[in-house]
Amino acid sequence: MKQENSLIQGNIFKELVKLAIPIMGTSFLQTAYNMVDMIWIGRVGSASVAAVGTAGFFLWLSIAFIRMSQIGAEVGVAQSMGKEDIKEARCFARNAIQLNFAIALLYGVFLIVFRRQLIGFFGMHDTYVINMAISYLSIVALGTVFSFANPVFTGIFNGAGKSIPPFLINSIGLMINIILDPLLIFGKGPFPELGVEGAAIATVASQLIVTIIFLIYMKMDKSSLAGLKLFMYPKLIYIKKIIRIGYPVALQSGMFTIFAMFIAKIIASWGPLPIAVQKVGSQIESISWMTANGFATALSAFVGQNYGAGKWKRVKKGYFTSMMIMTAIGITTSLLLIFCARPIFALFIPEAEAIAYGIVYLRILGLSQLFMCLEIATSGAFNGLGRTLPPSIVSIILTGLRVPAALILSRPEILGLNGVWWSISLSSVFKGIILVIWFFYEIYKEPTVLNYTNQN
C-alpha cells in the first residue's frame, strides 16, 4: 500500500497536512449530518430543534462506545504499520470491527427499550417536544450498527495513513443526507411530510449506504488491509488491547456527554428556546472542534507510526508543528464567533429571540476556541503514544466541574443563563492549558514514556 508508511519519512508539515486535510474533511462530514438536520429542522421551528437536540444527547453518548473501538483500531493499526507488522494491523482492524458491532447492537436495543425514560430525564414539560424527541430517538436507534461502524472503518484507514478513502465515502453519505432531508422533512414530491422523523430516516439511510460502500471498498481494495475476514472468531488478546487503549477515551467521551446532559437539564429550566439555542450553538462551535479533532486524529496516526518505528525526534517535531497550526485555527475561529455571531447563528434559526440568545452564546464560547483546539490536538498526540489516560483525567475532572460552576454562576443574582455558557468556556481554557503543560512535561521524559507504553 503506497501511503501506509509515508508518515515515518518526508517533510513533517507536508505529511501532517496531507493526512489531516481529508481527516478534517471527514470530521466535518460527520458533524454535517447533524448540522444539515439543524438547518432544515430550524425552518420548522425551535420546538423541533429542541426535540432533535434532546434526543441527540443519546447519540452523542454513543460516541463514547464508538471511540473505544475506533481509537483502539486507530492506534493499534498505526503502531503496527510503523513496525511494518501487517498481520498485527489486520488483527487490530478485524477485532475492532467485531467488538464495535456487538456494542452497537446492545446500545441500539437499550435506546429503543428505554426511550421514554431517557427523554424524560430532562424534565421537559412540553408534551409536543417530548413526543417528537421520542420518535426521533426511536428511529435513529434502529441505525446504530451503521452509525457505529462508519467511524471505526474511518479510524482503521486513518491509522494506516490512508485518509482520502474515508473522506470520499463519507462525502457520498452527506450528499445523500442533504438530498433526503428536505424531501422527508417537508414532504416534497412523492414523499410525505414527516418533520423530525424525516430527518431521522434521512440520517439512518445515508449512514447505511456509507457502511455498504465501506464494506465493498475494503473487499475490493488492494491494500494490505483489504479483504478482512470479519466472520472469524475474535481474538481475546486483541480485544483486550483495543479496550485497554480505547477505554480512557471512551470514558472521557461518555462522561463529557453525561455532564453535558446535566448542563442541559439546568438550561431546560429556562424553557425550550435556550435548549434549541445551545444545541445550534454547539453545532456551530463544533466547526472548530471537528477541525481540531480531525487534526488530532492525523497527529495520532503520525505519532503512532513514528513511535512504532522508533523515531522519537520526529514525534516531537510533529507535535510542535501541529501546535502552530492549531494556534492559527483557534485564533481564527475565535474571531469568527465573536465578530460574526449574528449572521452565523441566523443561518440556523431565523427567530429574533433565538438569535439574541445565540449571539451571546457564540461570543462567550468564542473566547475559549484556541485553548480547546490545543487541548484536542494534544489529546491526539497522547493517543498516538498509546497514553490515552492523561487526556481523559484532565477532561473528566474539568468538564465535571462545569456542573457545579453552572449551578452557581447561573443564579439570577449572578449571571443567569449566561453563567452556564461561562462555565463551559472557562473549563475549556483550563483544559487546554493543563494538558499542553502535561504533554510538554512528558516529552522531556522520553524514557519514561517509552517504557510505559512498552510495558502495556
The predicted-structure confidence for 367-381, as pLDDT tens digits, reads as follows 999 999 999 999 989
- Name the nearest CA neighbour of 7 among 325, 382, 314: 314
Question: What is the residue type of 277?
Answer: V
And the C-alpha cell for 131? 413526543
SS3 of residue 109 by DSSP: helix
Cell numbers representing residue 61 in the block: 453518548
Per the CB < 8 A criterion, the answer to whether 171 and 313 are in contact is no
Residue type, 374: L
Return the C-alpha cell found at 70: 475506533
Q: What are phi and psi of 23, to 5 degrees?
A: -65, -45
C-alpha cell at 75: 492506534
pLDDT of 453 > 60? The answer is no
Residue-wise pLDDT tens digits, 147-178 = 899 988 888 888 777 878 888 998 898 889 88
More confident residue, 78 or 212: 212
Buried b (16+ CB within 10 A) or exposed e, 324-356: ebbeebbeebbebbbeebeebbbebbebeebbe
**pLDDT score of 226:** 62
- Ramachandran angles phi, psi of 392, nearest 5°: -65, -40
Structure-block grid coordinates of residue 79: 503502531
pTM of the model: 0.72
- 45 touches 228 (CB < 8 A): no
Cell digits of residue 142: 434502529
Note the pLDDT tens digit of each residue in 310-320: 788 888 888 98
How far apart are the C-alpha atoms of 7 and 81, rounded to whole Å?
10
Q: Kindly report the average pLDDT of the chain as a whole number.
A: 82
- Report the alpha-carbon distance of residue 148 to residue 205 in Å, rounded: 14
Could you give the angle at the alpha carbon of 205 between the alpha carbons of 200 and 208, nearest 5°? Answer: 125
Per-residue pLDDT, averaged over 109-134, amounts to 83
Residues of the chain with pLDDT > 70, as a percent, come to 91
Which pLDDT score is estimated for 119?
84
Q: How confident is the model at residue 31 (pLDDT cuts 50, 70, 90)?
A: low
DSSP 398-411: HHHTHHHHHHHHTS
Cα separation values, 56 from 108, 260, 360, Å = 14, 11, 23
What DSSP string describes 194-229?
-THHHHHHHHHHHHHHHHHHHHHHHHH--STT-S--
> Whole-angstrom Cα distance, residue 203 to residue 173?
9
Residues 150 and 70: their CA atoms lie apart, in Å, by 9
Q: Supply 258's cell numbers.
A: 453525561
